[in-house]
Structures are given as structure tokens and as C-alpha cells.
Amino acid sequence: MRLALPLAVIAALAVPGASTNAVLAVAADGTPRVASESGGRLTIRARNATGAWSPVRTASLPGTGVLLEGIVVEPSGAVDVLTGDPHGRWLALADSAGVHVLARPARGASLGVAGLALDAGGRPVVAYATLVAAKRHTFLRLVRRTVAGRYASAAITKLGFPTADGVPSADPVLMPDGSIRVVETFPSAAIEWSPIPHDWQGQFLFIDGLHLGAPAGAVHAVAAAGGVYSAWTELYPSYGVSDVLLVLHLDGEHQSVLHRHAFLVALALGPQGPELAANDYVELGGSLDYAGLVLDTTGNALELDGRVAGYAVDPAGGRQLLLAGAEGLQWFRAAALPSLQVSLAASVSAGAVALSGRVAGAAGGSVALYREQSGGVRTLVATAPVDADGAFAGADAAASTPTVYRAVYVDPASGFPVASLVRTPLEIH
């Protein structure tokens, strides 16, 4: 336990190898579970009443460097983790009985990013798609665990529909009536599939008629307001844009772009509606430096220190956050999101860097100012006091190229590390 506050709890996770390949889920009682992978070994950890994290299960996966594509906690407390090969060669689900390989496509075919949910019976259900590249044919499948504990696959699409130039991603969503729908994204379009007697029917959610973009990574979906919210990242390489899209399918399709330069991590329902976690990024000397974000539909964007690995809203309405950064994995919980906003500007003068900014909504405390460079190198250059009007200032006399700067203010009410990362690397002469 690192810190306990009336409205917040912060805890560091001791993950071997400082792994940042991790996912977060919340049980029905609000307690968190974190799954991480290192060297092909999956470890699931739980946080107990004293605030300590301890392993509850480990498993050997079919490969190393895997994608952790989903995590759920069953009503019994059992944790299921969906894992996949980064090259689309296999998909496996780790449950309390072991690791089950759900799909291994034939040569010339590959799997997209899959999705995991619980069905009305509290059992895991997986949606995934396969692309046969030579023919551009895709096949969407739904896998359920039976009462007997076996996994059974059913076809949603047949005959290679839709044709696509890239591998689709998919996510299942449990509806209030107990049925399962599936949202599928693929280059230039997204479809929501609903079951009908002896078949499935699809409704287009999004169409890129100019074929300028393509979805990147996972798609996430939740049922709400009588319809389905779905979110994904739409990448436009020619323009350097990666839109975080949110679509509500209810009496038509209602689309919003919540951010123009980030990759989606999670979609959750907060007390006032959907909230998305995403990661903005800066290209820095051959690597990426991340700025975690929590976005809502009103245009608010809370920036955090590090890369968001997981985000969830628990049954009490608390926000749970898993951050990956220089200190490894950190888990946070707060009753509400911070209302603070940090801004930072950096300018070069005579070989030094002047740093200044403001913490809107704060009237005291201090800001940590960091120099960040390629390969995850991070150096604290100053600790600047925050004035009564929220302003702060500092300097870096030992700056080098290329570098970016980040200001971090720990919100005393929530414990969240609210931050601002300068998005343009500085050239220092």
C-alpha cells in the first residue's frame, strides 16, 4: 500500500519483470483483478482487504509476447482472460479449469482482435473473426462455454462476408433481454450483429465511403440507454490521425469523435454515461511516449501520467484505473474522477528549457516536472510549487535532444496523477 485517502486508494503491483502487458477487471463486489503476462506465463492477481496484491492463479500460454484481449470476473469470482497471438495464429481463453485454445486458423488466414463478455448465465462468451487474405473473405464466430464446461463455436457470418482488406475485430455485448449481440469492425465499416431465429442480421454502424481509414486494435461495446454503445480507433495514416470513435445504435446511429490522436483502451459506463480510456502518444526517437486519457461525451479529457492499461467503473460508481509507467503497474480507485486540468509549456533559451504551466482548480501543492527521452528514459528535473492561482514554473538546465516534458500533479482528493505531456519534441542546440 502506497497511499490511502478518504476518496482514493493507490496501490503498486509487484509484477515480475516490470511487465506492462496487463488488463483490469472488477468483480460484482467491486474488488479488482489484474492479469499480466511475462514470458508466456499468465498471472492473475487480486487485492485483499488489507490492500495487498497476491497471485490467485498462474497459467502457461501457447506462446510469448501475447495480446491480453479481455478479462471478466464470473459471479463465482473465477477470472477468465482472453489471450491471443500478436500475429493472429491462435486464440485462447484461460479459465479456472485451464487454458483452452479456441481457434487456430489454417495457413493463409489470421485472427483479428477478439472480445470477451459474460452471458446471461455468467459464463464467458467470445467473439472473433478470421481473414483469409488471398480471397479477402472474413468469418465471424461466437464461442460459448456450455453448462458442461466445454466451448462450442457457432457461425455468425458465412460465405466469407464481408470481404475486407484487413482482419476484423469483434466484441460481444450482453443485452438486457439476455441475448448477445456482436460488434465487428473492419476496414471502412463497422457492423452490429443481432440474433434472429436460426440466423443473424447485421446493421451498419459506420461506413467510410472514401476508404481513407481503417480500424486499429480492439472494438469495445456495452449495452445502455436501450441501445448499444460501441467504440474503436479509426486510423487515417495519410493524415496522421487516429480518431477515437463512439457510436450509439439507438433509433439510428449517432457517431462522435472523442479524440483525434489516441488509441482506445476501454469503454465503461459511468453515472453520467459512457467513459472511454485511451492513450495519446508522441513519437520520440524511434519509440512512443504515452499520455493516458479518460474521455467523456461532454468533451472532457482527463490526462494522466503514463499509459492506461485498464479502466473500469465499479458497481458503486468508483473509477478504477490501471496505469503502466516508469514505476511499472499502478492501480488506483477513486469515488469520482478529478476535476483538475494540468497544462504545460516548454521553451528553449540559451540551451536551457523554461517550463511553465497551470493546475486549473488547484491552489497549492507541487508539480513534478520530468524530462522524457527515447526508450522510456525519464528524469525528474524540478519540483515546482503551485501558487494560489494554480500557476507553477521550473527549468531544465541539462536538457538534451530529442526530449519532451511532462508535468504531474497528484490530485489530493482522488489520488490520480493528473498530468500534461508536451506533444512536440524539443530540438535543443
pLDDT tens-place string over residues 196-211:
999 999 999 999 988 7
| 427 within domain boundaries | no
| 426 within domain boundaries | no
**What's the longest Cα–Cα distance across the chain?**
73
Q: What is the pLDDT of residues 177-198, one digit of tens each?
A: 999 999 999 998 999 999 999 9
Helix (H, G, I), strand (E, B) or coil at 375: helix
DSSP state string for 298-333: TS-EEEEEBEEEEEEE-TTS-EEEEEEETTEEEEEE
One domain for residues 296 and 350: no
Q: What domain range is 376 assigned to?
A: 341-421
Burial pattern 122-135, b for ≥16 Cβ within 10 A else e, equals ebbbbbbbbbbeee
One domain for residues 26 and 84: yes
Burial pattern 44-82, b for ≥16 Cβ within 10 A else e, equals bbbbeeeeebeeebebebbeeebbbbbbbbbeeebbbbb
One domain for residues 304 and 358: no
Residue for cell digits 514554473? 393
Q: What is the pLDDT of residues 346-375, one digit of tens each?
A: 999 887 999 999 999 998 999 999 999 998
We report the CATH number of the domain holding residue 31 as 2.130.10.10
Long-range contacts formed by 306-310: CB under 8 A, 24+ apart: 306/330, 306/417, 307/20, 307/279, 308/265, 308/266, 308/277, 308/278, 308/279, 309/20, 309/22, 309/23, 309/24, 309/265, 310/22, 310/23, 310/24, 310/25, 310/34, 310/265, 310/266, 310/277
One domain for residues 254 and 375: no
| 428 within domain boundaries | no
Q: How confident is the model at residue 325 (pLDDT cuts 50, 70, 90)?
A: confident
According to the model, what pLDDT value does residue 69 have? 98
Mean pLDDT for the chain?
A: 93
Q: What is the pLDDT of residues 3-46, one digit of tens each?
A: 222 234 455 554 433 346 899 999 999 999 999 999 999 999 99
According to the model, what pLDDT value does residue 1 have? 20
One domain for residues 296 and 365: no
Q: What is the pLDDT of residues 101-126, one digit of tens each?
A: 999 999 999 999 999 999 999 999 99
According to the model, what pLDDT value does residue 398 have? 86
One domain for residues 228 and 318: yes
According to the model, what pLDDT value does residue 5 have? 26
Number of domains in the chain: 2
How confident is the model over 288-293, as a mean pLDDT? 97
More confidently predicted of 105 and 2: 105
Q: How confident is the model at residue 391 (pLDDT cuts 50, 70, 90)?
A: very high
More confidently predicted of 227 and 9: 227
Q: Which of 334, 358, 384 is the last residue of a domain?
A: 334
From 17-31, 150-164, 370-384, the region with the lowest mean pLDDT: 17-31
According to the model, what pLDDT value does residue 11 have? 56
| 138 within domain boundaries | yes
According to the model, what pLDDT value does residue 50 have? 84
One domain for residues 317 and 375: no
According to the model, what pLDDT value does residue 167 have? 96
Q: Which of 305, 334, 363 is the last residue of a domain?
A: 334
CA 12 to chain centre: 19
Q: What is the pLDDT of residues 394-415, one digit of tens each?
A: 999 988 878 999 999 999 999 9
Is the omega angle on the peptide bond into residue 75 within 30 degrees of 0, that is, cis? no
Q: Which of 274, 305, 334 is the last residue of a domain?
A: 334
pLDDT > 60? residue 236:
yes
Which cell numbers in the block locate residue 76? Answer: 463465482
Q: The whole model's pTM is what?
A: 0.94
One domain for residues 79 and 217: yes
Which cell numbers in the block locate residue 299? Answer: 468533451
One domain for residues 349 and 294: no
One domain for residues 141 and 220: yes
One domain for residues 156 and 265: yes
With a CB cutoff of 8 Å and minimum separation 6, the contacts of 238 are 212
